[in-house]
């Protein structure tokens, strides 16, 4: 093996990558693609009081809870953030996120603007936020209908809320217009790659550079 392969990795501080968008713009699709090719990235599985959609699996897509169980978790301080969205409650369980960050991994969140604001208040330095816009309202409606998992009434409610949701775009670090999935995924991967290289996140740089400069040879002597 070459030295490049055996050299110890430079220690890195994990980051929190948030994707938000109006419903149907493509967060779930982009998240799945990101996770598939990236072992350092873990999805935060939210808790929700909304009913599972066909094909959704408890513990994988969401932790599906009744309202009483959700409020017990709120009272016990078990959420990193929580909010009411479309007349249901959603929240991010704290434990799994803290465990991934503690070992230097990155966490991906599919949460709304309210949750993003709460994360920004508590951990701005670790947060990287991306807002996904649809190419047009007509296309957003096509995607919500084409997903084939919501009633006409639910789709109408989500279309009605899309404008409000989109008004929060200026609060995000990056904006991606999701025209072609592969292109959007590549753009978010580029964001993640650059954010991982930020000097402040590479906490192992000082000892690494000291070794390069030969400054560690006399240490401990
Ligand atoms: N604040 C917050 N929002 C969440 C959480 N989980 C999901 N959401 C948001 O709730 C909204 C509805 O999600 P969902 O019911 O899965 O519908 P979808 O976005 O159309 O797939 C979306 O804007 C999600 O980003 C969470 O844990 N916290
Ligand atoms: N760039 C795209 N072009 C066409 N269809 C898309 C694109 N991105 C997502 N979709 C489709 O649109 C629907 C909604 O996407 P989804 O990822 O569930 O959105 P969200 O999680 O933001 O609600 C899905 O059927 C998905 O396959």
Q: What is the pLDDT of residues 125-180, one digit of tens each?
A: 999 999 999 999 999 999 999 988 888 998 999 999 999 999 999 999 999 999 99
In a domain, 154, yes or no: yes
Contact 201, 105 (CB under 8 A): no
* More confident: 179 or 6: 179
Strands 47-48 and 63-64: parallel
Q: Is 6 inside any structural domain?
A: no
Pick from 45, 56, 87, 90 the residue to mutate for probing ligand 1's pocket: most ligand atoms within 8 Å of its CB.
90
**Ligand 2 center–CA 1 separation, angstroms:** 43
pLDDT at 6: 62
In a domain, 185, yes or no: yes
1 lies in some domain:
no
Ligand 2 contact, 145 CB (< 6 A): no
Q: How many structural domains comprise the chain?
A: 1
Query: Containing domain of residue 190, as a range?
Result: 12-202
Q: Is the CB of 187 under 6 A from ligand 2?
A: no
Average predicted confidence (pLDDT) for the chain: 93
Mean pLDDT of 190-214: 95
- The complex scores an ipTM of 0.96
Helix (H), strand (E) at residue 147: helix 137-147
pLDDT for residue 221: 41
Whichever domain contains 67, its CATH number is 3.40.50.300
Which pTM was predicted?
0.93
């Amino acid at each position: 093996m070459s030295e490049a392969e055996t050299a110890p990795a430079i220690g890195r501080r994990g980051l929190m990558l948030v994707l938000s968008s109006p419903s149907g713009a493509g967060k779930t699709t982009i998240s799945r693609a990101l996770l598939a090719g990236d072992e350092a990235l873990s999805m935060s599985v939210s808790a929700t009081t909304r009913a599972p959609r066909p094909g959704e699996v408890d513990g994988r897509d969401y932790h599906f809870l009744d309202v009483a169980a959700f409020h017990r978790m709120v009272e016990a301080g078990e959420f990193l953030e929580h909010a009411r969205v479309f007349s249901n409650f959603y929240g991010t369980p704290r434990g799994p996120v803290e465990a991934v960050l503690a070992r230097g991994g990155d966490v991906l969140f599919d949460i709304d603007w309210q949750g993003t604001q709460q994360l920004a208040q508590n951990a701005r330095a670790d947060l990287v936020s991306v807002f996904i816009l649809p190419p047009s309202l007509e296309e957003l409606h096509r995607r919500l209908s084409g997903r084939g998992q919501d009633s006409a009434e639910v789709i109408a409610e989500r279309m009605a809320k899309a404008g409000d949701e989109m008004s929060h775009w200026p609060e995000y670090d990056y904006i991606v217009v999701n025209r072609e999935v592969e292109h959007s995924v590549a753009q978010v991967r580029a964001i993640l790659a650059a954010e991982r290289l930020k000097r402040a996140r590479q906490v192992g740089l000082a000892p690494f550079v000291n070794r390069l400069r030969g400054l560690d040879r006399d240490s401990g002597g």
